[in-house]
């Protein structure tokens, strides 16, 4: 079922749903009394959600016994980048109105912006090398190493969120817990795989 062309088209449409939701809210005047703040937060939240979805693919493949989920990982990751780009454009255009001086001061001076900026910049090389061609060119091992940067994006995204709330930390704590569990899962797998097992050579435990 996951293998069909339709599954991919459906997943693509589902990933676009937030944009349609935003457009609908704009059309029906439900962007609150401060639309720019609403759009900034909406796109920021969805960026973080898609980073979490991306990180969830590998564990879910194992847990659900659905290895074919891998077919969606690149698309989900690129959507994280897509929403991140919208988030950044909202900030640069609607919020700061291309005031580059002010933007750089923000990036350097305000820790929460520094964290968000880090999270975004680290997504750039991942988006750029997301094609099969790049996996071939770089070699699977090195490609995989590079793409572990998404862990840092997840952590920096959570810190960005945690630092921007005023007193109610429930939402950033929730995303922090999700990212934490997904990274701990990987740490646990890595530790288990490292244990020397001389008898059985667990060669090429492909992932």
DSSP E strands in 73-139: the ranges are: none
Asked if 36 contacts 94 with a C-beta cutoff of 8 angstroms, the reply is yes
Q: Does 126 bind ligand HEM (CB under 6 A)?
A: no
Asked if 55 contacts 165 with a C-beta cutoff of 8 angstroms, the reply is no
Q: Which stretch binds ligand HEM (CB under 6 A): 2-10, 133-141, 152-160, 199-207?
A: 152-160
Q: Does 114 bind ligand HEM (CB under 6 A)?
A: no
C-beta closer to ligand HEM: residue 37 or 129: 37
- For 171, residues 6+ apart whose C-beta sits below 8 A from its C-beta are 161, 165
Q: Which stretch binds another protein (CB under 8 A): 45-53, 97-105, 131-139, 174-182?
A: 97-105
Q: Does 29 bind another protein (CB under 8 A)?
A: yes
Which listed residue (11, 19, 36, 189) binds another protein by CB under 8 A? Answer: 36
For 135, half-sphere exposure in the C-beta direction (CA atoms, 13 angstrom radius) is 7
Which of the listed partners (ligand HEM, another protein, none) does 169 bind, with a CB threshold of 5 to 8 Å by partner kind?
another protein
Q: Which stretch binds another protein (CB under 8 A): 57-65, 66-74, 139-147, 161-169?
A: 161-169
**Least distance to another protein, CB of residue 114, Å:** 11
Q: Does 78 bind ligand HEM (CB under 6 A)?
A: no
**Least distance to ligand HEM, CB of residue 22, Å:** 13
Residue 68, both tokens: 């074919």
Dihedral (Cα; 165, 167, 168, 170), 10-degree rounding: 80
The 10 Å Cβ neighbour count of residue 116 is 27
Residue 183, both tokens: 């990274």
Using the structure block, give the residue that is written with the tokens 């609607």.
94
């Amino acid at each position: 079922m996951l293998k069909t062309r339709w599954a991919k088209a459906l997943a693509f449409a589902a990933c676009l749903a937030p944009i349609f939701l935003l457009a609908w809210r704009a059309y029906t005047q439900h962007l609150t009394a401060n639309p720019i703040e609403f759009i900034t937060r909406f796109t920021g939240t969805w960026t973080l959600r898609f980073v979490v979805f991306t990180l969830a693919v590998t564990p879910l493949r194992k847990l659900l016994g659905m290895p074919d989920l891998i077919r969606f990982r690149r698309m989900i990751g690129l959507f994280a980048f897509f929403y991140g780009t919208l988030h950044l454009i909202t900030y640069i255009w609607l919020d700061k109105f291309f005031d580059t001086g002010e933007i750089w001061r923000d990036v350097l001076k305000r820790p929460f912006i520094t964290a968000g900026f880090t999270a975004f910049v680290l997504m750039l090389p991942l988006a750029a090398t997301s094609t099969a061609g790049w996996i071939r060119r770089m070699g699977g091992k090195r490609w995989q190493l590079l793409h572990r940067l998404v862990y840092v994006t997840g952590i920096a995204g959570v810190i960005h969120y945690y630092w921007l709330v005023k007193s109610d930390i429930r939402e950033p704590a929730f995303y922090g817990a999700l990212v934490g569990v997904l990274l701990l899962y990987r740490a646990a797998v890595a530790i288990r795989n490292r244990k020397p097992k001389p008898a059985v050579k667990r060669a090429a435990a492909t992932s």
